[in-house]
A and B are shown apart, each in its own frame.
Chain A
């Protein structure tokens, strides 16, 4: 059953991405100032949504683990954080390329960029911690605490730098005030978001399966050594 879900999600994600790729490259009109590179936003922004959500999902999963002590929630938190790290890397990479062309600089310490970088560092620290602990229960317990602290931190970082220097483009989506995109150009962002969420779900399911295999190996090994 689960394999079927994975397959369907994969096909859905691939389908939407191909359709949108066609849309983005051939149908959409040109933007006045930036040239072709503005089309990168159609991967950059959906990746941000997907990568950021990882935090809150991992927070919920970690909290649930601490309450229920069921290791499958820990496996879920780890899988979600790892997949979110991949998406956060995409955000930073595409953002840096765009910034180099449009602003002339690879990096600047503005609100959103700093938030994303801190986000990335916290994810990476979480994964490094998991690698440093062998015992499953201890690993689950400690990484749950790190996840909770990390998520709180990101919220603080986000709110506090909203009042700081802002070089990053302001909100352009029409759902937030000050929208600046023509109506026909906004669609692909949401479609791509859906596609990336499907992709993320597929990756999380695969990763979780690997966590379960890993735990099975651990328990079998323990059983074998008890003979």
Chain B
């Protein structure tokens, strides 16, 4: 059976590592979505200016 001393702190430690990784992945996901929206917007803008020209 796993040693019970300092068990809660081990948990905090593991949690810290996972929270940081998850936070970074979430940040990447948000950034990806924002970039794709921007890309679509710029592509549409380009099509419109090509049509006008």
Direct contact of A and B (CB under 8 A): yes
User: Would A97 and B12 count as touching, CB distance under 8 A?
Assistant: yes
Q: Report the minimum CB–CB distance from A211 to chain B (whole Å).
A: 9
Other-chain contact of B13, A98, A216, A223 (Cβ < 8 Å) = A98
Nearest-CB residue, chain B, relative to A101:
B9
Residues of A within 8 A of B38 (CB): 217
Number of A-B contacts (CB under 8 A): 96
Main secondary structure of the interface of A (DSSP, over half): helix
Other-chain contact of A30, B3, B20, B35, B50 (Cβ < 8 Å) = B3
Distance, CA A97 to CA B16, complexed state (A): 9
Main secondary structure of the interface of B (DSSP, over half): helix
User: Would B52 and A227 count as touching, CB distance under 8 A?
Assistant: yes
Nearest-CB residue, chain B, relative to A89:
B20
Size range of the interface on B? 20 to 34
Other-chain contact of B49, A36, A213, A224 (Cβ < 8 Å) = A224
User: Would B3 and A224 count as touching, CB distance under 8 A?
Assistant: no
Q: Which of A52-60, A70-78, A135-143, A202-210 contacts B (4 or more CB under 8 A)?
A: A202-210
**Binary contact readout B2-26 vs A (1 if CB under 8 angstroms, 0 otherwise):** 1111110110111011001100110
A161 CB-CB contact with B under 8 Å: no
Residues of B within 8 A of A213 (CB): 32, 35-36, 39
Residues of A within 8 A of B43 (CB): 220
Nearest-CB residue, chain B, relative to A212:
B35
Other-chain contact of A206, B2, B17, B28 (Cβ < 8 Å) = B28
User: Would B50 and A37 count as touching, CB distance under 8 A?
Assistant: no
Distance, CA A16 to CA B1, complexed state (A): 22
Beyond A35-B7, A44-B13, A206-B28, 12 additional contacts (C-beta under 8 Å) are A31-B3, A36-B7, A83-B24, A89-B20, A97-B16, A98-B9, A101-B6, A101-B9, A203-B25, A206-B32, A221-B45, A224-B49
A residues apposed to B, CB below 8 Å: 25-26, 30-31, 34-37, 39-40, 43-44, 47, 83, 86, 89-90, 93-94, 97-98, 100-101, 199, 203, 206-207, 209-210, 213-214, 216-217, 220-221, 223-224, 227
